[in-house]
């Protein structure tokens, strides 16, 4: 049920492209480009994530390259820019939490989580990617298009997985299992 290309669920509006576009990350091809985009802005952070990341930082630091650790120690792991909280980055490219494994950019926070060092997986904006949340009265979920993600579109077609399905765990984390079930019902 789409109203003007929007699926409304409670107080969240999901743009049609999130539930129709096929997408499945292909790290072998993109090399973790979402963590290394050249930009003046890092990954969006929520205020409560600053405190959590600050607490788990000692568990994450061992996974990071030296120059990333230096930036965190010298300048912090986050910035406030134009009233938006975001991760700091190295030369406006790689997020300070990036480490490289076989030439692929990966998240040090997520690695600490996968290794059982913390129960915080990663910032929700990173977990939701390529979905971005825009606040315009209510929250609007939209697909953030990047040419570096072209392999993910192809892989999504091959696997017949939509962005909403690919991001299912993150959507449940942010909005709850019931909310995600309603989304799936509405698009089927």
Q: Looking at the structure, do residues 14 and 51 belong to the same domain, yes or no? A: no
Selection from 174, 133, 127 nearest residue 25 by Cα: 127
How many residues does the structure list for the chain?
188
**Does 158 map to a domain?**
yes
Q: Looking at the structure, do residues 143 and 68 belong to the same domain, yes or no? A: no
**Which regions of the chain are under pLDDT 50?**
1-2
**Does 169 map to a domain?**
yes
pTM recorded for the entire structure: 0.92
Contact 105, 35 (CB under 8 A): yes
The whole domain housing 96 covers 31-120
Q: Looking at the structure, do residues 19 and 45 belong to the same domain, yes or no? A: no
Q: Looking at the structure, do residues 60 and 139 belong to the same domain, yes or no? A: no
Number of domains in the chain: 2
How confident is the model at residue 66, as a pLDDT? Answer: 97
Listed residues 120, 148, 179: the one ending a domain? 120
CA angle 154, 93, 108 (to 5 degrees): 80
How confident is the model at residue 2, as a pLDDT? Answer: 46
């Amino acid at each position: 049920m789409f109203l003007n290309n929007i699926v409304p669920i409670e107080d969240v509006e999901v743009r049609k492209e999130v539930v129709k576009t096929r997408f499945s990350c292909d790290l072998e091809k993109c090399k973790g480009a979402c963590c290394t985009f050249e930009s003046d802005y890092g990954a969006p952070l929520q205020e409560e994530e600053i405190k959590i990341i600050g607490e788990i930082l000692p568990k994450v630091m061992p996974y990071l390259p030296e120059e990333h650790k230096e930036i965190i120690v010298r300048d912090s792991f986050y910035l406030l820019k134009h009233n938006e909280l975001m991760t700091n980055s190295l030369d406006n490219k790689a997020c300070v939490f990036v480490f490289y494994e076989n030439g692929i950019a990966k998240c040090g926070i997520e690695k600490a989580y996968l290794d059982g060092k913390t129960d915080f997986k990663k910032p929700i904006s990173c977990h939701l990617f390529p979905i971005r949340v825009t606040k315009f009265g209510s929250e609007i979920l939209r697909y953030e298009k990047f040419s570096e993600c072209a392999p993910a579109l192809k892989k999504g077609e091959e696997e017949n997985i939509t962005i909403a399905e690919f991001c299912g765990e993150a959507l449940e984390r942010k909005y709850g299992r019931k909310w995600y079930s309603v989304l799936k019902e509405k698009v089927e």
